[in-house]
A and B are shown apart, each in its own frame.
Chain A
Amino acid sequence: MITADLIAQHQLTASEYQKIVAILGREPSYTELGIFSVMWSEHCSYKSSRLHLKKLPTRGKLVVQGPGENAGIIDIGSGYVIAFKIESHNHPSFIEPFQGAATGVGGILRDIFTMGARPIAVLDSLRFGRLDSPSTGARNRRILGGVVAGIAHYGNCFGVPTVGGECIFEPCYDGNPLVNVFALGVCRKEEVFYAKAAGVGNPVIYVGARTGRDGIHGASMASAEFTEESKQKRPNVQVGDPFLEKLLLEACLEAMRTGAIVGIQDMGAAGLTCSTCEMGSRGEVGIEIELDRVPQRETGMTPYEIMLSESQERMLLVADRGREDEVYRVFRKWGLEAVEIGAVTGDGKLRVREHGATVAEIPNRELADEAPLYDRPHTAPPEVARRPELPAEPNVQKSLPALLAAPDLCSKLWIWQQYDYQVRTNTIAGPERADAAIVRVKETGTSVAISLDGNGRYTYLSPREGARLAVAECCRNLSTVGALPVAATNCLNFGNPERPEIMAQLVEAIEGIAEACRFFDTPITGGNVSLYNETLGEGIYPTPVLGIVGLMPAAQPLGIAFRNPGRSLVLLGGPGACDEVRFGSSQYVKEIARGLWGLPPALDMDVEKRVQAAMREIAAAGLAESAHDVSDGGLAVALAECCLGPAAIGAQVDLDSDLRPEILAFHEAPSRILLSTSQPAAVAAIAAAHGVPAPVVGVTIASELEIRQRGVTLGRWDLAELQAAHANGLAKYVD
């Protein structure tokens, strides 16, 4: 008996329930209600965002597969493609940090290899509450430690290098950390697999781990706000087994090579439900399964539980009838279970049987693709104070070490040293080495550069401008290492879309991403939306995270660090402009003035594009010895980061500017790249050809960093002092 309470428990509205009744032409069974509730959850159906996601550019000459599959695919030439995507695992990581993060890695890796691609790189974008908070610091430190250990545990054992990422701390992530994981894999162009069922009568085969009661309703959990009761949902978090996933990877890739596989999809969110109805819907066929045949870890599981379980490390595939044995042979070799649980039918329905009796029968297309679509009301993003409150007496000398020690800007060595960032010997630039991570593709002799970026402070102040800045920054990071940005994926982390001001943030951010991705010619090939990131009514900053990939030759990386004294320092793009309103989003204001106001830095996309084009040309000509873009923390922090490389080379800089000293040193205007060169004239010529200012602002020297403004010293630092501040910023909280 389906009561109003039961419907509410499944987070379905009365009108959604009416739609279910209309589709079925009758009341659903309990099992069917559960199936609809997960497929129509925000997490699986994108019912609040779908309307706006259509605004994103998704086509491009290199795009082989855009949104709608398990991952996006880009042609990298020489007969090879890359598959990549970013996904969130925010809610589980708050409830159970280690397993939540670990299974987040597991889920995105399956999305990659289910397409036939072997994963070669992982990056992560993390947000936590402040570690030094007297009230929540201890919990935040525990969450950080658990998340990092979980990512390390899964990625290291699976054998994929975690080559970079970002990690930011803000009070708004106190009760709602963000764990976004990006993965990228490589495969031959003609060996891409799709999650599509075909061929009436073909066997549907279940492979991998047995189904247990873990993770039931995970997708629905990810579609609700957190309350005091959320901790009781810990059993909803799945447990990961990276060794099993590694076996699954090898077995799937080997089975795909037999040619006997028609289509394949991993069982992630909404498990067996999602994989069956989506494969059926994509192939416009029906799928019938018998639950008695589903390998089970526990006894007495109900159809409801089996269909909704999110047990990890499982895949569903459709094979050619008559060639099943070729598939079974491979899975047996890897010690994995592979069982025929059903068949493809011609009636377009998902039919679930138990002991031969039908327990659910739902049309695939309506279930998978006709979920409710909401045009939720959106007003304007919340107003943020505009009034600047800069301390009267600036102190650049003291502020630089303080900023280098700040959690957002300090070295994240403590985190990434726990990750195997080298396995597979493709890592050309790992963490903190260059502005983007770089992995080579041995098969093609070229490299792929990857950058993740999202700045919640910027997006909070202006969702549209913040989103455009994130796209620009990713592209700039790629251009700084000499890579041409070609395609993007995004992870949209927002609060409750049922609140019009939050919905406005989402809409404006999507439109900002769309505009910038179109302008920089980096189509979105897939991604993930994570809503309801709220705890006890407190929302996070709107945090769209962009992941953009670029292509380049395989060569020694252009790193951040200065390599020799006596080189000219060129500030490509010039010193930039900033006023006190635009300064309000900076790290200086966050850490020194302890505030947030105004607007994000101003972005002129045309200027940005020319700066990046000039940079790529300079890199390709081999004219730069080091290059680093000016972003969080501004020019002074960028300079210090260049000084802190293995060679510990200093710099003497004199800036010609009217700006207030602290704004000059720490403002975060985009479209600026700091590079060292022994050939300033050749660099200037390329910059001039692109109409980009490229003043020589100083010179590298054997030791110390000195920054002057028109001859007046703003600060002078011993490199050891800066190094100590930078190196211990995070470690002092966690060890």
Chain B
Amino acid sequence: MRFGVIVFPGSNCDHDAFYAVGQDLGQPVQYIWHDESSLGNLDAVILPGGFAYGDYLRCGAIAKFSPVMNAVKKFAAEGGLVLGVCNGFQILVEAGLLPGALIRNRGLKFICREVTLRVETANSPFTCAAERGRRLRLPIAHGEGCYYAGERTLDELEAEDRIAFRYLDNPNGSLRDIAGVLNRERNVMGMMPHPERATEPLMGSSDGLAVFQSMLRAGRAVAA
């Protein structure tokens, strides 16, 4: 399965995503520069964490205008798998590929720590290798990770089984404890916690592999 990792100038988890996919998942992976207008021949693309263009404005507000985002939108519309982590999630929301918004943490401070997530649905290409209710220990590292959306949107997400993960120990004030959401077609997911930071025992947890292994399984099912 061919993975791509988008590199915005201020991405700083790009190497980590590349390493997790290449080293720990053992799949071919390549970087894609932010001014590319096409993604080429890929099965999945990851928007990594960081500060895409500095994020001195709203996080992701500038990134949505970058050339590569048109390519990502096209890729998503054609059914490709798109995973946004942390800043990547913020960009997907800004670009309209996912609903809601990510606002400043309730405590108004950047938080880096490990959190416990619950898998809310196994019915997605990002969670199919886990079972519903499984707990994952994953790190977070963000200042603007409080998930916010209108009541109607939140009800809709629940009704359509599009909440991928919830926090058991909500660190940032996210509404309904939401840590990750899916688009309606279920091929785009954004999450604030960092699965790529938990793919080896030496990193303190391997629980993040569940996300990447799910993508691999889903990708192979499509290919078969």
Contacts and interface: CB of A to CB of B under 8 A. Distances in A.
B133 to A, nearest CB: 23
Interface residues of B, number: 31
Interface stretch (A17-25, A297-305, A420-428, A614-622): A420-428
Given A152-B110, A243-B56, A556-B201, A423 B10 contact: no
Contacts of A250: 9
A423 B54 contact: no
Taking residues whose C-beta sits less than 8 angstroms from the other chain, chain A's interface range is 20 to 34
B112 A158 contact: no
B148 interface: no
Contacts of B112: 416-422
Contact of A247 (B9, B110, B199): B9
Interface in A143-195: 149, 152, 156-159
Nearest to A241: B54
Contacts of A417: 109, 111-113
A250 to B, nearest CB: 7
A425 B197 contact: yes
Contacts of B111: 417-418
Nearest to B13: A423
B177 interface: no
Nearest to A162: B112
A234 B117 CA distance: 45
B15 interface: yes
B201 A424 contact: no
Given A420-B141, A424-B16, A425-B16, A157 B51 contact: yes
Interface in A551-581: 554-556
Contacts of A421: 112
A424 B18 CA distance: 11
Nearest to B196: A425
Nearest to B202: A428
Nearest to B49: A423
A428 to B, nearest CB: 6
Interface string B107-120: 00111110000000
Nearest to B109: A418
Contacts of A159: 12-13, 50
Contacts of A335: 9
Contacts of A149: 109
Contacts of B54: 157, 241-244
B139 interface: yes
A159 B14 CA distance: 10
A672 interface: no
A545 B168 CA distance: 41
Contact of A423 (B20, B55, B141, B199): B141
A412 interface: no
Contacts of B12: 157-159, 246, 423-424
A243 B55 CA distance: 8
Interface in B186-224: 194, 196-197, 199-203
B10 A440 contact: no
A28 to B, nearest CB: 41
Given A243-B54, A418-B112, A420-B112, A554 B202 contact: yes
A87 to B, nearest CB: 22
A55 interface: no
A442 B197 CA distance: 14
A519 interface: no
Contacts of A555: 202
A328 interface: no
Interface centre among B12, B19, B194 (most CB of A within 10 A): B12
Interface string B86-118: 000000000000000000000001111100000
Interface of B: 9-10, 12-13, 15-16, 19-20, 49-51, 53-56, 109-113, 139, 141, 143, 194, 196-197, 199-203
Closest 10 CB pairs of A and B: A159-B12, A243-B54, A420-B141, A157-B51, A425-B16, A420-B112, A418-B110, A243-B10, A152-B110, A422-B197
5 contacts: A243-B55, A422-B194, A423-B49, A425-B196, A556-B202
